Amino acid sequence: MEKQLIISVGREYGSGGHEIAEKLSKHYGIQLFDHNLLDEIAAKKNVKMDHLKELDERHKNLLSSRTVRGLSNSPEENLLYLQFDFLRDKADAGESFVIVGRCSETILKQYDSMVSIFILGDRDKRIERIMRLYHLTESQAVKKIREKDIQRRRYHNSFCVRRWGDCRNYDISLNSSRLGIDGTVKLLTEYIDSRRK
């Protein structure tokens, strides 16, 4: 049986982290979980979750949530726990997968088979990429990057002790602007392969 491999990819918006995760998933022939995670959970639990997509990777609103004996009414937090449980079940079952974001580097930390990666990028390269991908003006791209990074940081930091993007939280933090997407993927596969030996 193939040795288990879990790759957790955290990313700055516009750094190409998602594309890198896709390429790693293809390279190792393992499943990729990103926005599709909710669909997977919905299918497994036989429930509808389309209306919850807007809450995915969102921090909990302190004013509209309350915790009682460790249980919270926050839909964002409850969605997060559903995702945590789903990922842990997969990991416990020995399955290999790539997971993008969702505090995965923290919640799957106890699995030796996990490689945690954080992809960052130079500001100008990220702006250029977002302008190209979404046909935005520079100011629109700057705004989008700022909003998305704030959203990801708040989401991550409201559920994890270690800060989002803090290099001590990941096995490897890499600037994709230096080697480009393919170069970064190549370097990462070399690292992952060395780890698996």
Partner 1 sequence: MFAQVVAIIIFIAMFVFIVSEIVERHVVSLICALLTIVFVFGLGMHSMSAILETLNLRSIFTTEFWYLSGETSGSSTGINWETILFIFGMMVMVEGMARVGFFRWLCMRIARLVKYQVIPLFITFMILSTILAMFIDSITVILFLAAVTIELAQLLKFNPIPMILSEIFCANLGGSATMCGDPPNIIIGTSLGYSFTDFVTNTGVIAAVSLIAVLLYFYLIFRKELRADVSEPVDYSSLPTPESTITDKKGFAVSCVIFAAAIALLVTHAQTGLTVSTIGCIVAAATLITSWKYAVDLLKKVDYNTLLFFIGLFVVIGGLEQTGILEIMAAFIGRISGGNVMVMVAIIIWLSAVVSAFVDNIPFATTMIPIIKSLSTTYGVDLSMLAWTLAMGTDIGGSATPIGASANVVGIATASREGYVIKWGQYCKKMMPATVMVVLIAMLFIYFRYL
Q: Which residues bind partner 1 (CB under 8 A)?
A: 41-42, 45-47, 49, 51-52, 55, 62-69, 71-73, 75, 78-79, 81-82, 85
Sign of CA dihedral 97, 100, 105, 107: negative
39: left (phi over 0), alpha (psi -120 to 50) or beta: alpha
Q: Which two tokens stand for residue 59?
A: 């921090």
- The three-state secondary structure class of 109 is coil
Rounded to a whole number of angstroms, the minimum distance from the CB of residue 68 to partner 1 is: 4
How much is the CA Rg of the chain, to the nearest whole Å? 17
Q: Is 128 exposed, middle or buried (0-12, 13-18, 19+ CB in 10 A)?
A: middle
Rounded to a whole number of angstroms, the minimum distance from the CB of residue 145 to partner 1 is: 28
What's the rounded Cα separation, in Å, for the pair 11 and 18? 7
Our CB check for partner 1 shows the closer of 47 and 167 to be 47
Rounded to a whole number of angstroms, the minimum distance from the CB of residue 57 to partner 1 is: 15
Our CB check for partner 1 shows the closer of 61 and 139 to be 61
Our CB check for partner 1 shows the closer of 4 and 158 to be 158
96 touches 4 (CB < 8 A): yes
Rounded to a whole number of angstroms, the minimum distance from the CB of residue 51 to partner 1 is: 8
| Site of tokens 């390429």 | 23
Rounded to a whole number of angstroms, the minimum distance from the CB of residue 61 to partner 1 is: 9
Our CB check for partner 1 shows the closer of 87 and 131 to be 87
Question: Which value, to the nearest 10 degrees, does the dihedral of the CA atoms of residues 82, 84, 88, 89 take?
Answer: 10
Our CB check for partner 1 shows the closer of 71 and 167 to be 71
98 touches 91 (CB < 8 A): no
Our CB check for partner 1 shows the closer of 49 and 100 to be 49
Q: Which two tokens stand for residue 40?
A: 């997977």
Rounded to a whole number of angstroms, the minimum distance from the CB of residue 38 to partner 1 is: 10
> Which letter does DSSP use for residue 117 in this model?
E
